[in-house]
Amino acid sequence: MKHTLFALALALVATPALAHGDDKPRHGGQVVEVGETVFELVRAPAGVSLYVMEDGDEVPAAGQIARLIVTTGAKRQEVALTPAAGNQFVAKGASIPAGSKVGVLLIDRATQARQTATFTVK
C-alpha cells in the first residue's frame, strides 16, 4: 500500500502542468498567454489584428474595447482597435516594426474589467 501511494504521489509530481489556453498561433501571428487569456497579435501589410481567446473560447470583440500601446525606441504611439468578426480586432493601416514593445489593453464594455498583455514583436 505504501508503495502504491508513493508511486501515485511521484506520478503527480512528475506530471507537467498543462495550460488551459492554446499557445499556438491560429492566424500566423505571435501569441502571449496571460492566465486563462490568449492574445494573438498579427502584423500584415494591410494593418494589425488582435485575436482574443479565454479558456479555449473566443472572446466576442463586439463586447470589448481594445487598444495597443506601441513603443519603438523612444517613440510611443497608441493604436485604437476596432471590433471585427468573432474575436478579431483590427487597426487598418497600422504598422508595428520588429523589435517594438506592444502593450495590449482590453476592457469589457459591460463590467469594465480590464486585461493586459505585453508583446515584444519579433
Q: How far is CA 33 from CA 8, 38, 39, 104, 116, in A?
A: 30, 4, 6, 12, 10
- CA 66-69-71 angle, to 5 degrees, is 160
**pLDDT by residue for the chain (122 residues), tens digit each?**
544 433 333 343 333 334 445 678 899 999 999 999 999 999 999 999 999 999 999 999 999 999 999 999 999 999 999 999 999 999 999 999 999 999 999 999 999 999 999 999 99
Name 46's bridge partners.
none
- This prediction has a pTM of 0.81
d(CA 49, CA 42): 5
